[in-house]
Amino acid sequence: MKIARFSHDGAINFGIIDETDLVVLAADPMFGGFETTGERVPIADAVLLAPVIPRSKVVCVGKNYADHAKEMGGEAPAEPLLFLKPNTSVIGPNDRIVLPSLSDRIEHEGELAVVIGSVARNVRAEDAASVIFGHTIGNDVTARDLQKKDGQWTRAKGFDTFCPLGPVIETEFSLDGATIETRVNGDVRQQAPLSDMIHSVAEIIAYASAVFTLLPGDVILTGTPAGVGPIVSGDTVEVAVTGLGVLRNTAA
C-alpha cells in the first residue's frame, strides 16, 4: 500500500494511492489506522507533501556502501556510523532545495529511507521489522565543504531543505532485487542494488535503538552508494528506488 500526505483545497490529509486517485484517510495512518472517509481526490489535483514529518529526528548512516566509503577516501567503518539531521531539514517531493550561501559545494546523496512506526528501544535485529511503518526515498543533501571543514557533520547535513523525503510511504516494500538510482538533470550519477548496503536495515535499527529511543515518525536514512556529486542552482535531482517511485527536487 502506498501512502501519501497531500494538500488539496486548503486541507492536509493522508491518502492511499489507487491508480490516479488518492483515497482519503480519516487520520494519520501511523496513529489512526486505515479507515477511509469515502472521498477520492485525483492525484493531479493534489500537492504531495513529505509523507512524514519526523517526530524527533532523522537518523542517518554514513559510509554504508563500500564504494562510497572508498570515494570519500577511506574504508567503511566496522560499525554503523550514525549522525542526525534535524526534522526542520525535511521537505517534500517537488519542494525546492535551497542552496545556502555558506557553502560552495553542495552534493546529492540518494538513499533508501525507513519510517519508524512504533516506539523502539533496544530492538533486536530479528524484531526490527515490527517497528517499521514503511519505506520511502530520501536525499541526504550535504554541504561537502562544511563537512570537511567542521569535522563533525551537524551543520553540513542540517540546513533547512537538506532532507527531501517522498513521494510516498510504501508499507509492503521489499529490498529483494531493488535498486537505487540518482539522476541529475537526467544523467545517472549513482546506481546500486540496495543489497550493497554493508549494515542492513535491521542491523541499523538494532544499533540505533540501543543508543536512543526511536519514535513513530522518525526516519532512518540508510546511506548512499558511490557517485555523489555537486548540485547547483537549477539542477533537478531525482532519486528512484524500485517500487517506491521517484523523489524529484530542484535546487535553487
Residues binding Mg ion (CB under 5 A): 109, 140, 224
CB of 157 to Mg ion, least distance (A): 8
Q: Which amino acid is at 122?
A: N
| Residues ≥6 apart with Cβ < 8 Å to 127 | none
* CA of residue 133 relative to chain centroid, distance: 13
CB atoms inside a 10 Å sphere around CB 145: 15
Residue number with CB closer to Mg ion (71 or 127) = 71
How far is 59 from 49, CA to CA, in rounded Å? 20
CB of 197 to Mg ion, least distance (A): 12
Across the chain, which distance is largest between two alpha carbons, in Å?
54
Residue number with CB closer to Mg ion (29 or 164) = 164
Distance (Å) of CA 77 to CA 65, 171, 208, 216 = 10, 30, 15, 28
CB of 151 to Mg ion, least distance (A): 17
CB of 69 to Mg ion, least distance (A): 11
Q: What cell numbers appear for 61 in the block? A: 548512516
CB atoms inside a 10 Å sphere around CB 78: 8
CB of 111 to Mg ion, least distance (A): 6
Minimal CB distance residue for Mg ion = 140
Angle ∠(118,119,120) on CA atoms, nearest 5: 105
CB of 219 to Mg ion, least distance (A): 12
Contact 244, 168 (CB under 8 A): yes
Residue number with CB closer to Mg ion (80 or 216) = 80
CB of 167 to Mg ion, least distance (A): 19
Residue number with CB closer to Mg ion (15 or 164) = 164
Residue number with CB closer to Mg ion (13 or 161) = 161
Angle ∠(245,249,251) on CA atoms, nearest 5: 160
Residue number with CB closer to Mg ion (140 or 238) = 140
Angle ∠(157,159,161) on CA atoms, nearest 5: 105
Residue number with CB closer to Mg ion (109 or 218) = 109
